[in-house]
Structure 1
């Protein structure tokens, strides 16, 4: 769970993904800057991701397990230790692929091809609509933040009241001398041209393209030039959603090609 849901340290070239903006969409705070573990995962500040103890172990299962092991740690301490282990493991895995790695991922819908006379060519393969393949690349919180409230003021802010977090994406904090309501981007609908960034990007409807793109460093134009160790080829595809990706012929073709290349490479190295 924690490992699957926690972005890798090199996610999106290490750019912040936990964002707070004002009503005009201007960024007031963007995290993490250095360490997601310290700034978010085990941070008990209002903007951190350390769960309330009542939500962390509602059935008391973890507490009971700790007691059986005669571990005096609290559930919170155990969670922090576990998340620290997760991030340590992520660092070990980061940019550390098998030397014969082939990868593929979805990056939105298939775009229609156009001929030289600008007529649209028929699509050769089925594609899910773009709106079905968008997902959260960043988490953006927006609220009525007063003028002059920047990162320092937001980090120093406190919860406003007992109904501070409705657990459905609405937070209430005291900042700039008043109560501020912050609401997370609720729908996976990317902004239209000219609109402010809301964190929604193309992907396969579940996994954002940025999450897989780290494997394509040095291979995909526009990404970091430092090639990911071990990656031989990466297929940036489109048209399919996460759950049904292998229903799409492009995915099956890329998988077959990759297996053939891996087998060929294995035979070559054994001779």
Structure 2
């Protein structure tokens, strides 16, 4: 029997970290055997997605035709009557949680029903009811299982902390996981752990969201789910008053929206939040991907799935309010988009801290973010650059709303690694000296959509003061410069460290790539440390 006091742990994933399904009419239009819009854990769906052209990508990942692929034990949501709900969620594997000397004992509060109970729920069934099948299990499954195990079964038979706690958290200086010295964090003692976890249950839930839609909408939807979850526990006669939020990447924006007083309005229901690798001010890599596709070589599978060329990525993100909210905000700073030759900067934008008017909405410039021909390859109604500009305006309003808002009991964990270089700036490098020319108005001859642009030939003999004596025709080209800023290969330090001003404690870490950050010992230890410190803030005597 679990204790009567309950503090649910709610995990909110990053962009592309929630599984999505499509409406029946969109499934019919695409002639799919199932209604899976996005499920990156599925090998077959990955293979299907890699074969899609830009038009079908746009149709399949349409924010108006998709929703979170939630678990419903009563029927299959696949649109394929031959596939069961459990087959759809087969990526959720609870067979082992052997991680950093964790025993393979079952997750104590996800046990199956006793024999004879009809219908009998398995441990996997209970995990799926908690939303574990809604999220990218390959990236997040280990953490979900680890939190469920170690927060609810932290002590051995002799009432001693488990080996995992001793090895990874207890009596260890937080500075070993990158804790900022100015926070002066103290190690957690065994008696503090026992006091925090005694007489309380910490069921771990995952809440996906439609990452194609605005984070404002996702925040409101998540807030409603959290209210319903607290009521569910209360109706079952548990003392459930608050939850703890654990977020990854864009999930941090969703969580802040959920708690904000003008959006989700649940700050009083949240005990605290732990944000991992959040792009607090956006990330310049969003511009890079929309112009040049995802990172990696031609054989790179993630690149083939997520978008090999600029037009494949643009077909999805230009029609996605949520995706556009990852572009650098006004607070990101000036001069993150540059055009250079050697060490000479020919153009640097933005200059007035307004990327919306200086970069995102400019047209008829070769470095513009949006190519109108890439936005609507599917020729869907209302999908054009004017609507994309409306989404940009909404993104600006969203970021202005949550700009300085964090829960007072927030902790932040992020990559600050000089070996994990990130596009803090996007730099276009010319191969020839064009400093005497009006280079920003060059006409494009060809664009590889992977970071190489060739321009129409220029007759320099008719250009006064051009310092070329033996050349009459100039054929310039430009290429994307590799990333140079420390970070986690996705979020640069200039965006992540904005949290330093608002969070109770900061962990600046090394050694991991953005998507897999929650698989690394330093990040996980910092997460558990933060959870315990948040739990210590709970006042059960307060009504």
CA distance in 2: counterparts of 1:29 and 1:243, whole angstroms: 32
Judge conservation of contact 1:103–1:234 (CA < 8 Å) in 2: yes
List runs of 5+ in structure 1 lacking aligned partners. Answer: 67-73, 110-129, 189-199, 217-227
User: Residue deviations 1:60-98, cap 9 Å, x none?
Assistant: 23xx2x3xxxxxxx7111111111111221122222212
Aligned mate of 1:18, from 315, 337, 342: 337
For the pair 1:30 / 2:348, whether they are aligned, the reply is yes
Change (3 A) 1:203 1:269: farther
Aligned mate of 1:140, from 416, 427, 448: 427
Q: Which residue of 2 aligns with 1:211?
A: 495
Q: Which residue of 1 aligns with 2:252?
A: none
- TM-superposed CA distance for 1:40, in Å, is 0.9
Judge conservation of contact 1:171–1:181 (CA < 8 Å) in 2: yes
Aligned mate of 1:244, from 507, 510, 516: 516
* TM-score, scaled to structure 2: 0.35
Higher relative contact order (CA 8 A, sep 6+): 1
Q: CA RMSD in A?
A: 2.6
Change (3 A) 1:91 1:170: same
Q: Which runs of 4+ in 1 moved over 4 A?
A: 173-179, 268-271
Q: Which residue of 1 aligns with 2:386?
A: 77
* TM-score, scaled to structure 1: 0.67
Change (3 A) 1:18 1:147: closer
SS of 1:5 mapped into structure 2: coil
CA distance in 2: counterparts of 1:213 and 1:147, whole angstroms: 35
Change (3 A) 1:45 1:213: farther
The size of the alignment, in residue pairs, is 206
Aligned mate of 2:406, from 89, 93, 97: 97
Change (3 A) 1:47 1:97: farther
Judge conservation of contact 1:40–1:50 (CA < 8 Å) in 2: yes
Judge conservation of contact 2:517–2:523 (CA < 8 Å) in 1: yes
CA distance in 2: counterparts of 1:246 and 1:18, whole angstroms: 30
User: Residue deviations 1:212-232, cap 9 Å, x none?
Assistant: 11112xxxxxxxxxxx3x421
List runs of 5+ in structure 2 lacking aligned partners. Answer: 1-316, 318-322, 464-473
Aligned positions of 1:1-271 closer than 5 A: 1=317, 2-11=323-332, 14-22=333-341, 24-34=342-352, 35-61=354-380, 64=381, 66=382, 75-108=384-417, 130=419, 133-143=420-430, 144-149=432-437, 153-155=438-440, 157-160=441-444, 163-173=445-455, 177=463, 178-185=474-481, 187-188=482-483, 200-216=484-500, 228=501, 230-267=502-539, 270=542
Q: Which residue of 1 aligns with 2:469?
A: none
Change (3 A) 1:98 1:145: farther
Change (3 A) 1:146 1:266: same
CA distance in 2: counterparts of 1:167 and 1:248, whole angstroms: 33
SS of 1:134 mapped into structure 2: strand
